[in-house]
Amino acid sequence: MASEALGWLGVPLAIAAGTMRGGTPFLFVSLGECLTEKSGKINLGLEGTLLTGAMSAYAVSYLTRDSLGPMLAPFAGVLVAGLAGMVLGFIHGWLCQQPRVNDVAVGIAMIIFGSGVAFFFGKPFIQPSAPLLPTIDLLAWTDLPEQFQSAVKISPLFVLGVAIAPLMTWFFRSTRWGLFIRAVGDSPDAALAMGVSIFKVRMLSIVAGSFLAGIGGASLSLYYPGVWTELVSSGQGLMAVALVIFARWQPMQCLWASLLFGGAQALGPALQSVGITQGYYLFNAAPYVLTLVIMVITCSPTRTMTGVPGALGSDR
Amino acid sequence: MTTASVSASDVISPPDLEVVNMTKQFGSLVALDHVSMHLKPGTFHALLGENGAGKSTLVKCIMGFYQPTSGDVLVGKRSREIASPKDAHQYGIGMVYQHFTSVPAMTVAENLVLSRFDPSVMIRWQEERDRLQAFMDQAPFQVDLEVPVAQLAAGQKQKLEILKQLYLNSRILILDEPTSVLTPGEADEVLGLLRQEVTNGRLSVLMISHKFREVMTFTDEVTVLRKGKFAGHGLVKDLTIADLSSMMLGEAREPKIVDKVITTADRPVLEFTDIHANKDNGLPAVRGTSLTVYSGEIVGIAGVSGNGQRELVEVLSGQRSPTTGTVVVNGTPYGATRSEMFHNGVFSLPEEPLRNACVPHMSVAENMALRTFDRPPQSKGSFLRLGSIRQMANRLIQQFSVKTPTPETPISHLSGGNVQRAVLARELSSDQINLLIAANPCFGLDFSAVEFIHGQIVAARNRGVAVLLVSEDLDELLSLADRIVVMSDGEFVYESAIADADLSTIGQRMAGH
């Protein structure tokens, strides 16, 4: 077998591949959350959005496989996943901006609602196999071992996510809309004095963020692991929220942090592939441990965080 | 903005602004009652009145934040419909708010670009920078474009607010108590430069104020409001401070300060040595300060905001742990625990009392009991005696004239001055009081509230209380303190008995020279 031929070399290779595969959902959700939090509201509900996105992407890809063909159907799935995310985002955006409503509480409700929706409509799609997203095989022309080949199979979604990160940085810096979002997130009073509608800006930020999270869900079900089950997200939406804090609310940092988390996730399976089965569950827990470690490192009683949007977590 | 448009706007004088018979009702409350005023082109006009006189309501109606119940706004002699600040901007009217409206996390340049009502989606920073620099070069004052607003001192921020309006080409500037956060030096500088712009015919200014000194020094005309009604108008050169005061308060009233009695300041009450403390971001804020405050004296700490006073007060009141240094009260080490506060009679009036000294959602009565609820007569064993708490609240509300509908009203519903009174009542009602730490106790309060609080502080001192008074208002310190200390960049850089204090040295030390 190829992995035996590669031996220990397979571990870094598998981690590199896993970084791309596992990092993609993190990347989309954290970019979405970054956009949302820049406007001053938290959307914990992205975990639910992720599941709804995964389910709707898979379902649409399966249902349209004949009418659109196996090449286009998954892309229709991605689009619908984004749209489904927007619907959930709209509900969150409206609810959490009502007077005396707390965005964290709404977010938790939205996790339950989003996963409920996904499980309810997703039941019939657990068994059938839908056409998955095609990948770009960079080394298809060589005769390198299969494991090399699979390591450099790049999903178009990953490329898209990597492109969005610098685009978002530019958006926050050099567009009027980006400045409005930062103003609303940092100092709602200042934004109000400029005649900016806080409600609209936050609503659009939350809806756009949820669109990205929905696409993150599509990458789970149509790229990696490429199935639809109720366990497919395993808390990645919530981890992505922690990741935004780790990334100091900067889109480019979100990219690096997502890759780090993706890599951590690949650690367990990679070690398993070279025959280390002891502590398998421990290695699988790497992303969770990483979340905890980051939380411990970043919180300090004597310092406040830098980069945190001023209105985040307040009632304004 | 190009140089061509600047020279063109030099020729056109600012528009004429008139408010005719304006009334604004909020439910049953009449905030403005048939008020008229006239801002002539190229004049500096003061709008004077106590808190709650309707000054802010009037300018907010002009700016389109509120829609007046009846009455007209005339710009350039024609009645205009102003539905939002955007409309006001179109008529060349811009407002500088009492609280800063710049976004702290953004740079000065970003804030200026953001403030412009401009449909363009993309910002070409290269061009913007050149244009902003060109604007800055011909503006009356300069602020560094690349600095995040959070790092600016209060005076700089206030300048930025005004610059923003100039950048927007506003020809009528409305200033809402623009100097409340500035040192006298900064205030004079900012107002002086604006005065120059007005004299040159480039601007009209309408300034809300309750500082007579500024009104007398810088303005041409004054309109006075009292309880929502027009109370007087005149040219400043024809009026005296006594005239203004009688228009504002209804009857002529001399500012009265409780006379200081001679006390012997011999018993050290508060001693702190070599206090170091960090800011929230971990950078040092207080760098080795030592001071002793004796009984029966008021020691004033002067300084521009952001020079470590806030952190020092937080250390002394137990809200922040010092990195090094010791605090001793009545000869024993003091860690600001509840029992130490009680045994040593330490009380404090922190700045922003609603945030630092109150539980906003709890009632006035409960807030007034925060010092005493856990000991008799207000509690028995583990149980509170609500009757006793209410009784004390009623007594304090009357004694300190706190205006509250009922003792059960949440304290956050009270106006700033009344929250301050309620806290003062709690802190000064004890007969065990030994040390009082006050920080900007009169910030943003009106004339009569300030007078009341000053009187209470001096009365406490006369009873032998040691008072540490931290204030950004130098006039306040000069009239109250027995000894003055200047804090700059986390250190005490000047100390003097008030009789020997040299104002120009204090000013220089405050500015860090």
User: In A68-126, which ranges are continuous DSSP H helix?
Assistant: 69-95, 103-122
Show residues of chain B in contact with A174, CB under 8 Å: 122-125
Three-state DSSP at B187 gives helix
Is A308 part of any domain?
no
pLDDT value, residue B293: 93
Same domain, B273 and B234: no
- CATH code of B107's domain: 3.40.50.300
Of B249, B278, B306, the last residue of a domain is B249
Q: Which domain holds residue B413?
A: 268-510
Residue keyed to tokens 């802190």: B427
Put simply, the answer to whether A176 touches B122 (Cβ < 8 Å) is yes
pLDDT value, residue B8: 40
Residue A291, min C-alpha distance to chain B (Å): 23
Residue percentage of chain B with pLDDT more than 70: 92
Is A144 part of any domain?
no
Total domain count, chain A:
1
Q: Is A98 left (phi over 0), alpha (psi -120 to 50) or beta?
A: beta
Q: Look at the alpha carbons of B232, B236, B242, B243 in this order and tell me if their dihedral is positive or negative.
A: negative
Same domain, B101 and B155: yes
Is B360 part of any domain?
yes
Is B369 part of any domain?
yes
pLDDT value, residue B252: 45
Is A195 part of any domain?
yes
Question: Do A275 and A293 form a contact (C-beta atoms < 8 A)?
Answer: no
Is B3 part of any domain?
no
Question: Do A232 and A225 form a contact (C-beta atoms < 8 A)?
Answer: yes
Q: What is the DSSP letter of B442?
A: T
Same domain, B190 and B68: yes
Residue keyed to tokens 């995964």: A54
Of B249, B284, B309, the last residue of a domain is B249
pLDDT value, residue A304: 57
Whole-number mean pLDDT of chain B? Answer: 84
Model confidence at B9: pLDDT above 50: no
Residue A38, min C-alpha distance to chain B (Å): 11
Q: What is the mean pLDDT of residues B283-304?
A: 89
Comparing CB atoms, the residue among B101, B120, B123 nearest residue A190 is B101
Hey, what are B196's tokens?
A: 């120059």
Q: Among A9-13, B71-75, B157-161, which range has the highest average pLDDT? A: B71-75
Residue A88 or B90, more confident: A88
Choose from A167, A189, A201, A302 for mutation: most chain B CBs within 10 A: A302
Comparing CB atoms, the residue among A174, A189, A304 nearest residue B123 is A174
Same domain, B367 and B218: no
> Using one digit for the tens of pLDDT, what is the confidence trace for B259-283?
777 777 678 999 999 999 988 767 7
Is A108 part of any domain?
yes
Same domain, B372 and B242: no
Question: Do A198 and A184 form a contact (C-beta atoms < 8 A)?
Answer: yes
Same domain, B302 and B430: yes
Model confidence at B196: pLDDT above 50: yes
pLDDT value, residue B10: 46
According to DSSP, the residues that pair with B33 across neighbouring strands are B229
pLDDT value, residue B11: 47
Put simply, the answer to whether B103 touches A182 (Cβ < 8 Å) is yes
Nearest to A215 by CA among A16, A30, A68: A30
Same domain, B244 and B330: no
Same domain, B493 and B366: yes
Q: What is the mean pLDDT of residues B9-37?
A: 82
Same domain, B165 and B297: no
Is A231 part of any domain?
yes
Same domain, B240 and B283: no
Q: Cis peptide leading into B377, omega within 30 of 0? A: yes
> Using one digit for the tens of pLDDT, what is the confidence trace for B400-435?
888 888 889 899 888 777 888 899 889 888 878 899
Comparing CB atoms, the residue among A175, A190, A309 nearest residue B123 is A175
Q: Which domain holds residue A280?
A: 2-129+153-298
Put simply, the answer to whether A187 touches B281 (Cβ < 8 Å) is no
Is A242 part of any domain?
yes
> Using one digit for the tens of pLDDT, what is the confidence trace for B332-356?
899 888 888 888 889 988 888 888 8
The rounded distance, in Å, linking the Cα atoms of A34 and A39 is: 9
- CATH code of A161's domain: 1.10.3470
Confidence of residue B506 (pLDDT cuts 50, 70, 90): confident
Whole-number mean pLDDT of chain A? Answer: 87
Is A190 part of any domain?
yes
Is B156 part of any domain?
yes
Confidence of residue B512 (pLDDT cuts 50, 70, 90): low
Model confidence at B308: pLDDT above 50: yes
Model confidence at A175: pLDDT above 80: yes
> Using one digit for the tens of pLDDT, what is the confidence trace for A183-213?
999 988 888 877 788 999 999 999 999 999 9
Model confidence at A60: pLDDT above 80: yes
Element of type H or E holding B438:
strand B435-439
Tell me if chain B has a CB within 8 Å of the CB of A100: no
Nearest to B424 by CA among B277, B416, B95, B260: B416
State the angle between helix axes of A103-122 and A69-95 in degrees (0 to 180), rounded to the nearest 10.
150
Is B71 part of any domain?
yes
Question: Do B171 and B95 form a contact (C-beta atoms < 8 A)?
Answer: no
Confidence of residue B7 (pLDDT cuts 50, 70, 90): very low
Is A75 part of any domain?
yes
Candidate from A232-236, B120-124, B255-259 with smallest mean pLDDT: B255-259
Of B220, B249, B278, the last residue of a domain is B249
Model confidence at B469: pLDDT above 80: yes
Same domain, B232 and B289: no
Confidence of residue A1 (pLDDT cuts 50, 70, 90): very low
Comparing CB atoms, the residue among B103, B122, B321 nearest residue A190 is B103
Same domain, B283 and B222: no
Total domain count, chain B:
2
